[in-house]
Amino acid sequence: MSSSVAAAPEVFVVGASNIDLIAYVPRFPAEGETLHGSKFETGFGGKGANQAVMAAKLGGTVGMLTCVGDDTFGKDTVGNYEKVGISTKHVHTIGNTATGVAPIFVNDAGQNCIVIVNGANDRITKEHVRGATSEISAAKAVVCQLEIPVEVSLEALKVAKENNTLTIFNPAPARADLPNDIFQACDIIAPNEPEAELLTGEKVDSSEGAVLAKVNQDNTSGVIVSINCETDFVAKNESYLSLAKELTDTALGHETLESFLAADFKGMSVAEKLTEQTGVIGEKIEIGDFKTLKAPYIGLYIHAGNKIATLVGLSAKVEDAAEVSKNVAMQAAAMNPIALNEEGVDASIIEKEIEIAKDQLRQEGKPEEILDKIAQGKIKRFFKDNTLVNQDFIKDSKISVGNYVKSVGDIEVIGFARVALV
């Protein structure tokens, strides 16, 4: 096929091309069960294709090495590559073969299950890679994944390495039996959390995304939403942040996560939009947390980098309510209190802290008969350190947060919400 791009590709992707077949269902069917779906869509997918399209949309000149079938899906895939400006010189059409497909089922809760049928993707060969050596050597970066035969990805990485081209390897779908040569041939490896755990055998605890907050016009209702993804690269992308802000705007006014997920978002539900973006971006996009707050006056604070967001509710709207609520919201963001006050601390936590205090006192040789009295004193210190209104105010450690608020007027803090990416 002739190339649709005159310039030599800066980014050359070797990977899979699929057509996504998306059915929206109320729930996943049981074995042997037939369900009525509410909606059906098709879309362009495949990890390699998604990466190529995204690179092109970000302004790069992109080439794609892939195989499609001699069917309607194959023609549509080629047409889409040409539409977004991706070189199709090394997009090979295989006769009597179906283009790769990914049937996707999405339930009302936004969960999905996916079946990948590789089709023509399994027909990509090392010979195809060697036929693209001139493009690989001229590119600034070569990107590979694992929806195609592993030996093909390895060959592409080796050819790129031999020609001093930057190599980027996305080890997905995850598999534990990768040859060591593949790691030696890649400059950058980009696994998500489950993939990193499989490759290393170590537990990986991390979250990326954006935590945003929004209040209504009269500052009486607020919401915090965590829109999670898998990599920092996606989390910092302007289009992702724009989507996160739009979703947060939509969340305002909804009392539950379920209601928010079912809400309309430009002609589809929020749950459907998250699934769509998962396919477009190539990473799982989901709502990590959802919290609401109502009060006579609500202020918010979003920490730089969108990693923490807080809401604070005041008992009344006073002249300096905006400044006071923001200061307390910053306090909650920085100090991570477990509750508003003593009454909000779960009894099991208090009991546990008392036992810890007693054990420490026993180790110090304190008599058993005085342990309860001393432990109660330690619990008071625990409340001071861990409940919002009792904490030392970070802008003036001589007073508590509660006393700071009272100094402004006849108001008090009556609630707060905090969400952070871990």
Return the amino acid letter for 50. Answer: N
Residue 378 has pLDDT above 70, yes or no: yes
Buried b (16+ CB within 10 A) or exposed e, 357-370: bbeebeeeeeeeee
Return the amino acid letter for 390. Answer: N
pLDDT tens-place string over residues 145-199: 999 999 999 999 999 999 999 999 999 888 888 998 999 999 999 887 778 888 8
Task: Measure the CA–CA gap between 7 and 140, rounded to whole angstroms.
Answer: 13
Confirm if 25 and 35 have CB atoms less than 8 A apart: yes
**216 — phi, psi (to 5°)?**
-75, 175
- CA dihedral for 22, 23, 27, 30, sign (positive or negative): negative
Between β-strands 297-302 and 308-314, what pairing exists: parallel, antiparallel or unpaired? antiparallel
Task: Measure the CA–CA gap between 103 and 353, rounded to whole angstroms.
Answer: 51
* Percent of the chain residues past pLDDT 70, beyond the cut: 97
pLDDT the model gives residue 206: 58
pLDDT the model gives residue 366: 79
pLDDT the model gives residue 5: 44
**Angle between the 47-57 and 72-84 helix axes, to the nearest 10 degrees?**
20
Between β-strands 112-114 and 141-144, what pairing exists: parallel, antiparallel or unpaired? unpaired
pLDDT tens-place string over residues 56-71: 998 999 999 999 999 9
Q: Which residue has the higher pLDDT, 81 or 354?
A: 81
Confirm if 208 and 228 have CB atoms less than 8 A apart: yes
Give residue 6's pLDDT band: very low, low, confident or very high (50, 70, 90). Answer: low
Confirm if 384 and 401 have CB atoms less than 8 A apart: no
Between β-strands 221-229 and 286-294, what pairing exists: parallel, antiparallel or unpaired? antiparallel
Residue 4 has pLDDT above 60, yes or no: no
* Of 49-63, 325-339, 355-369, minimum mean pLDDT range: 355-369
Between β-strands 39-45 and 11-14, what pairing exists: parallel, antiparallel or unpaired? unpaired
What residue spans of 201-346 are helical by DSSP H? 232-235, 238-251, 257-262, 270-281, 321-335
pLDDT tens-place string over residues 237-249: 889 999 999 999 9
Who's near 134: CB < 8 A, 6+ residues apart? none
CA dihedral 216, 275, 77, 236 (to 10 degrees): 60
Angle at 59 between CA 100 and CA 66, to 5 degrees: 20
Task: Measure the CA–CA gap between 384 and 357, rounded to whole angstroms.
Answer: 15
Angle at 403 between CA 389 and CA 291, to 5 degrees: 30
Q: Which residue has the higher pLDDT, 175 or 369?
A: 175
Task: Measure the CA–CA gap between 388 and 337, rounded to whole angstroms.
Answer: 5
For the chain, domains (ranges, CATH) are 11-200 (3.40.1190.20), 208-345+387-420 (3.30.479.20)
